[in-house]
Structure 1
Amino acid sequence: MTPDWQDLTRFAFLLAEASADAILPWFRRNAAIEVKAGAVWDPVTEGDKSGERAIRAVIEKRFPDHGIHGEEYGIKEGRSPFTWILDPVDGTRAFVCGLPTWATLIGLTFEGKPVLGLMNQPFVGEMFYGNPEGAWHRRGSHTEKLATRKGIALAAATIGTTAPELYKGEDQAFFQRLRAKATLTRYGGDSYFFALLAAGHVDIAMDAGLQAYDIAALLPIITGAGGATCEWTGKDPVKGGNILTASSHKLLEEALEQRTLSV
């Protein structure tokens, strides 16, 4: 039986609303910050935690058999082919600085494949979402279908990535070759760059060292809008890793050629 993608998409909207209600009271309030153990400064706030708890509660009430994989509270194994992959506040560094470039990422996999994704920025009031039937942008009462920008060569491309220092070794060489070939490179957009690629404003969005919850929700938005995605070392992108996305398969291939040159 084919899943009802429209019903699942409407349910994802409910998850976005629940998370927004839980997260927004903590935004621009200079709330306490915890720092996760690790080599880099990795903050977490009550906004992150409250947002994920709210999403999990709604999923567990409606779909108790579904699996859940969230950044803050880990993995709940499911008894169905569906797993929700959650990042309640993607871009917590932006969140604690008061920048509205963070987003809530809600992804759904079916038998391990990304099938539905939603990126919500409740402070700005816009949402990007995708499923097997396409991808859309919603702001207020207005919804429009998304389509990536086509016919762009690397020399004319705009690249978006979180920060250049996240690339190490051969990956840094690859990134610098891409940056040198492209027209414009912008930093600090976190998941927004991937959504803006789907909307036709950015041609390449990429980041190194992502987790599944950083990217799973964005893949159906990009592919639903006609874009192309890969993990540039050959792994499954839904599991995270080094993610490269482009507005077309041709541009993706041209970008990957720079990696061959850099190693």
Structure 2
Amino acid sequence: MNRAFFEQLSAAARDVIAREIAAGLVGENKALAGFDPVTAADRAAERELRALIERAYPDHGISGEEFPTVRPDARLRWSLDPVDGTRALLCGLPSWAILVGLIEDGHHIAGMIDLPAIDETLIAVDGTTWRNGAPVRTSGCTELAAARFSTTDPFLFSGDEARAVKRVRRSVRLTRFGLDAMAYARIATGGIDLAVENSLHPHDYDALIPVVRGAGGHIGDWSGGSAFDGGRVVAAATRELYEAAVALLA
């Protein structure tokens, strides 16, 4: 897989989303409880991404947030989140992203975090992550006391999870909230060192895994593995920092 195809996916999805934004976005609630918005931009972008993949790779599987999975048993499968951070998009914030991951026999081999609002595209292929055509690396931070930490929403944690994340937050240098997938882009480019989330779906993290790893970072679950049970994700600039965070989360 080469960067050019991801760039094609980025350009097509950006164009569709821009048209929907210009037409005026309305957030429909797809949750039975609470508010989980979806817009015409989410659906239109996923349709466009699927169409491009179908034309280029008709034997590949495709799964996404908005539409059913096709060819789930294919050796190669694309994972799509056409607008990660729909709440941010509806609020006019720049942290929303187009996420595309490619998985081969269960292994995350390529991915893209595209940030249209700031015209930044991170693409991971062949074990290297590129930002707008230039390779990037994490900060190399190994100690919690020096780490810059992010989680999208502290109110998503409760009970033991909330206490665990509080232990991490009290151990780091600084904390920023509300960045969605942008936090993982910043881990890859060295601006943030550590991110912790829960309740993520595969389409939320499939693209993040190769991007963080391709920049020299480490990403896994709260128990030190890669099962991601309950959507619990920890991404860090280094394996040492990841293990230090996991020790507190456990």
TM-score range, shorter chain: over 0.9
What CA deviation, in whole Å up to 9, does each residue of 1:139-172 have, x standing for no partner?
Answer: xxxx221111114410111101101011122111
Query: Residues 221-240 of structure 1: matches in 2 within 5 Å?
Result: 221-233=211-223, 236=226
Counterpart of 1:159 in structure 2 is 149
Sort the Cα spacing of 1:184 and 1:63 in 2 relative to 1 into closer, same or farther, 3 A.
same
Q: Which amino acid aligns with 2:90?
A: V
Choose from 37, 44, 57 the match for 1:63.
Answer: 57
What CA deviation, in whole Å up to 9, does each residue of 1:24-57 have, x standing for no partner?
Answer: 1223654222100232210000000000000011
Choose from 166, 191, 197 the match for 1:207.
Answer: 197
Q: Which amino acid aligns with 1:236?
A: S
Counterpart of 1:105 in structure 2 is 99
Aligned-residue offset at 1:101: 1.0
Choose from 70, 76, 91 the match for 1:76.
Answer: 70
What CA deviation, in whole Å up to 9, does each residue of 1:68-105 have, x standing for no partner?
Answer: 01100021125641100000000000011111110100
Choose from 1, 5, 8 the match for 1:11.
Answer: 5
| Contact 1:215–1:238 (CA under 8 A) maintained in structure 2 | no
| Contact 2:209–2:219 (CA under 8 A) maintained in structure 1 | yes
Counterpart of 2:187 in structure 1 is 197
| Structure 2 portions without partners, runs of 5+ | none
- Coordinate RMSD, CA, aligned: 1.7
Counterpart of 1:27 in structure 2 is 21
In structure 1, C-alpha distance between the alignment counterparts of 2:25 and 2:227, rounded to whole Å: 33
| Contact 2:17–2:45 (CA under 8 A) maintained in structure 1 | yes
In structure 1, C-alpha distance between the alignment counterparts of 2:10 and 2:155, rounded to whole Å: 31
Aligned-residue offset at 1:231: 1.2
Counterpart of 2:126 in structure 1 is 132
Aligned-residue offset at 1:202: 0.4
Aligned-residue offset at 1:117: 0.5
In structure 2, C-alpha distance between the alignment counterparts of 1:160 and 1:26, rounded to whole Å: 30
In structure 2, C-alpha distance between the alignment counterparts of 1:245 and 1:201, rounded to whole Å: 13
| Contact 1:129–1:221 (CA under 8 A) maintained in structure 2 | yes
In structure 1, C-alpha distance between the alignment counterparts of 2:16 and 2:228, rounded to whole Å: 26
| Contact 1:113–1:238 (CA under 8 A) maintained in structure 2 | no
Sort the Cα spacing of 1:21 and 1:240 in 2 relative to 1 into closer, same or farther, 3 A.
farther
In structure 2, C-alpha distance between the alignment counterparts of 1:202 and 1:104, rounded to whole Å: 20
Choose from 193, 210, 225 the match for 1:220.
Answer: 210
Give the total of aligned pairs: 250
Aligned-residue offset at 1:259: 2.0
Query: Residues 168-187 of structure 1: matches in 2 within 5 Å?
Result: 168-187=158-177
Name the structure with the higher strand share. 1
SS at match of 1:123: helix
What CA deviation, in whole Å up to 9, does each residue of 1:174-227 have, x standing for no partner?
Answer: 100000011111001000001100101101012111000001001101000110
SS at match of 2:198: strand
After alignment, is 170-179 or 226-235 more displaced? 226-235
What CA deviation, in whole Å up to 9, does each residue of 1:8-31 have, x standing for no partner?
Answer: x32121111111111112236542
Sort the Cα spacing of 1:177 and 1:78 in 2 relative to 1 into closer, same or farther, 3 A.
closer
TM-score (norm 1): 0.90
In structure 1, C-alpha distance between the alignment counterparts of 2:91 and 2:222, rounded to whole Å: 31
SS at match of 1:209: coil
| Structure 1 portions without partners, runs of 5+ | none
Q: Please state if 1:42 is matched with 2:36.
A: yes
